[in-house]
Structure 1
Amino acid sequence: MVKRFFSSTQISPIIEQQRFQESIADLYIYDIADIRNLASINQSMRTNFFCMFLLNKGELHVNLNLKPFKITSNKLCVIIPSTVAETTFISNDCELLGLVFTPEFLTKTGVIFNHQETLEMFVPNAEKVLTIQSDEAEILRLLLQRLKQLNASNSTHLFSREIIYHTFLTLFYEVSNVYRKNKTLQKPKITRKEHLVIQFIQALQLHFRNERSVRFYADILFITRKHLTKIVKEITGKTPCEIIDEAVIFEAKLLLSNPALNINEVAQNLQFTDQSVFGKYFKKHFGTSPTAFRNTEKKSVF
C-alpha cells in the first residue's frame, strides 16, 4: 500500500508512522525524502495540525484552500489547522526542511501570544507563502536541522526534550519576525470590489455546507444578488454559483475519500436532503457518480 502523507485528514497517521523514530510524538521534522516517501500528488487533505516548511532548492506547487502557490528557493510556507491542502508538483531537485506539530504541542512549549505579530501567521487570512532573505533562511534552516537532530529517537542528549522546546520557541519567534517584516514591506491596496469578494469567500468557507444559494451570501454582504454576481465575475472570472459549487464538490471529494463514511453520511454532512439528490449534484458538477469516484480513489491507494 502506498503511504499517503498529504491525503490524510489527521496528524495522527503521520505521527504514528514516526512514533518510534521521534522523541516527542506531537512534533515531526521532515525533509524532501520524507515527502517523496509519504506524499501523493493531487491528493487533498483538510489539516488539523500546523505545518511550516522552508524550500532550499527546486520547486513545489501546492493548492491551499483552492488557491495555487508556486514555492521556490528561500520561500517559507505556513499552514494552519482546517486548511485544505493539495500538493500538485515536486521538482526532481527539490530540497526542503519543515515541521508538523499539533496545537497541543504548541501549548506545551509555553509560547506567549503577547504580541500581535505572534498571532498574525495563525489567522485564516494570513499570508501562506513568504519570500525571505538569505540570512533569515539560513537561521531557520539551522534551527530546523537542530530540531531534527534532537527529536530523533537515537539522540543521547540528556536534556533533548527541554532544548527541543526552547529551539522550537526560537524558531517560532524568528518566523513571527519574518511576518512582521513582510507586513511592513507589503501594504497592498484593496479596492471595494476586491474587499467584497474576499468577504464572499470568507462567508463561503463558513457556510458552504449549509448554504448554496447566491442570495444567502448577497444578503450577508447587504448587496443584491445581481451586484454580487457582477463583482465576483469581474474579479475572479467565475460566477458565485461556480465558486460555491467548486467548494461543495471539493469538500465532497475529501469526505468520499474517507472510507469511514458511507455515501449517505457524506450527503448528510453536506446538508443534502438525501443520497439521491447528492448523487445527481455530484455527477452534474464532477462528471461521475460518488460511487464511481470512490472506487477510483480505492484503486489509487494500492
Structure 2
Amino acid sequence: MKIIEDNMQNDSEIFIESLINTDNISIRSFEYKELKRFLNVNIYLKSTLFILVLSGRGKIEINFKTHEVAPHNLMLLSFGHFFKMNQISTDFKCLLLYVDNAYIEEMYSVDMLYKRVKYGVKMYKTPLLQLSLSNFNLLKKRFFLIDEIILEEQHRYFKEMILNGLRLYFLDLSNIIEERKESKEDTQQQSREELHFLQFLNLLATHYQSEHLVEFYARTIHITPHHLTQIVKRLSGQTVADFIFQLLYSEAKLLLKQPNLPIQDIAVQLHFSDQSAFGKFFKRKSGLSPKEYRNGIVTE
C-alpha cells in the first residue's frame, strides 16, 4: 500500500487496491483483520462511502471529531470528509458501499439531487446514524441487492440496473432520515448557512434551466455571491457551478434521447446563448458533441 505525504490517502487508492469489483461501485464486507492495516490512516474522501456496522465497536474520527460507533450504526461519508479509524474491536464487522462520483453524477436529477443533498446537509456535521432494527435490516437488504446487481456485469442493461439499485437505496435512506423527529435542540442548531443552502437548492430546482449564474441565486437569497459560494462549498464540498452544470448536463442528456427534438431547440430550452455554446458545454462534460452523443444512443 502506497503511503503518500502526510500519511494521507484518498479513498480510491485504498479501495481500488482492496479488491473493489469495478472502478465505480463496490459492496464489501470487512472484518477487524482486514481493517486493522488502515488504523490511524487519514483518508480524504473524494467520493461517497456508506459504512453499515454489523457488530463490534470502534472510535472513528470524521472531520477531526471522534465518534463512537456500534452495531446498527450507519456512517454517511461524502466528498470533503476526512476519515480515520482510531480504534475498532476485534469483533468489528461492517458492510461498505463505495460509490464513485461517476455514478453519483448519473443519478442527478432535480428530484434526486434535492433528496440526496437534503439529508447530506443534515448529516455532514454529524455523519453517523443510529438505525432501528427494521431500518438496519432494510438497508442491509439494499446493500445485498446492489451487490447482486454488480455480479451481473454482462447484463445488457447493467448500468441502468446499478443506477436503479442506488436510487432505491437513496430513497430508503432519505425516508429514514426524514422520518426522524427533530428535537427542539436540533432545530435551534440549524445554522443560518444551512437555511441559505436549502434556499439555494429550492431555487435551483426551479430555475437551473434558465439561470446559470451564481449572482441570480445569491441576489434572490439576499446574500453576496461570494458568501453563497463559500456556504455551498463548505456544506457540500461542491461549488454552485458544479450543481448548476451537473443538472444542465443531466437534463441535456435526457433531451438528446428524444430523436425528434432538434439540438438547436435543446440549446434554447436550456438557455444557452446559441447552439455552439451548448455544444462546447456538452463536450466539456462528456467528451462528445451533442450529435455524437445522440448518434451513440441510436447505435447502442
When normalised by structure 1's length, the TM-score is 0.53
Over the matched positions of the two proteins, sequence identity in percent amounts to: 13
Q: Residue type matched to 1:77 in 2?
A: M
Cα pair distance change 1:93/1:3, threshold 3 Å: farther
For 1:121, which of 106, 119, 122 is the aligned residue?
119
More helix by share: 2
For 1:86, which of 84, 88, 108 is the aligned residue?
84
Match of 1:234 in 2: none
Deviations 1:166-188 (A, max 9, x none): 11110011111122123x24342
Shift of 1:81: 0.9
Q: Residue type matched to 2:53 in 1?
A: L
Match of 1:44 in 2: 42
Alignment of 1:4-19 (within 5 A): 9-17=9-17
Cα pair distance change 1:156/1:93, threshold 3 Å: farther
Deviations 1:30-54 (A, max 9, x none): 2114982584111112111111111
Match of 1:212 in 2: none
Q: Which shows bigger deviation, 167-176 or 53-62?
A: 53-62
Separation in 2 of the partners of 1:52 and 1:9? 18
Shift of 1:3: 8.9
Match of 1:146 in 2: 145
Cα pair distance change 1:8/1:159, threshold 3 Å: farther
Cα pair distance change 1:112/1:174, threshold 3 Å: farther
When normalised by structure 2's length, the TM-score is 0.54
Match of 2:277 in 1: none
Q: Residue type matched to 2:176 in 1?
A: V
Given that 2:52 and 2:73 are in contact with CA atoms closer than 8 Å, whether structure 1 keeps it comes out as yes
Name the Cα RMSD after superposition.
3.4
SS in structure 2 at match of 1:174: helix
Deviations 1:245-282 (A, max 9, x none): xxxxxxxxxxxxxxxxxxxxxxxxxxxxxxxxxxxxxx
Stretches of structure 2 lacking an aligned partner (at least 5 in a row): 193-300
Given that 2:32 and 2:89 are in contact with CA atoms closer than 8 Å, whether structure 1 keeps it comes out as no
Shift of 1:102: 2.0
Given that 1:121 and 1:127 are in contact with CA atoms closer than 8 Å, whether structure 2 keeps it comes out as no
Shift of 1:138: 0.6
Given that 1:43 and 1:87 are in contact with CA atoms closer than 8 Å, whether structure 2 keeps it comes out as yes
Shift of 1:155: 5.6
Separation in 2 of the partners of 1:98 and 1:161? 20
Cα pair distance change 1:149/1:117, threshold 3 Å: closer
Match of 1:188 in 2: 185
Separation in 2 of the partners of 1:155 and 1:125? 33
Alignment of 1:128-167 (within 5 A): 128-152=127-151, 159-167=157-165
Alignment of 1:16-27 (within 5 A): 16-17=16-17, 22=21, 24-27=22-25
Q: Residue type matched to 1:66 in 2?
A: F
Shift of 1:159: 4.0
Stretches of structure 1 lacking an aligned partner (at least 5 in a row): 197-302
Cα pair distance change 1:37/1:157, threshold 3 Å: farther
Shift of 1:157: 5.0
Q: Which shows bigger deviation, 124-133 or 164-173?
A: 124-133
Separation in 2 of the partners of 1:93 and 1:87? 15
Deviations 1:121-163 (A, max 9, x none): 32374431011111111111011012123224x7665544332
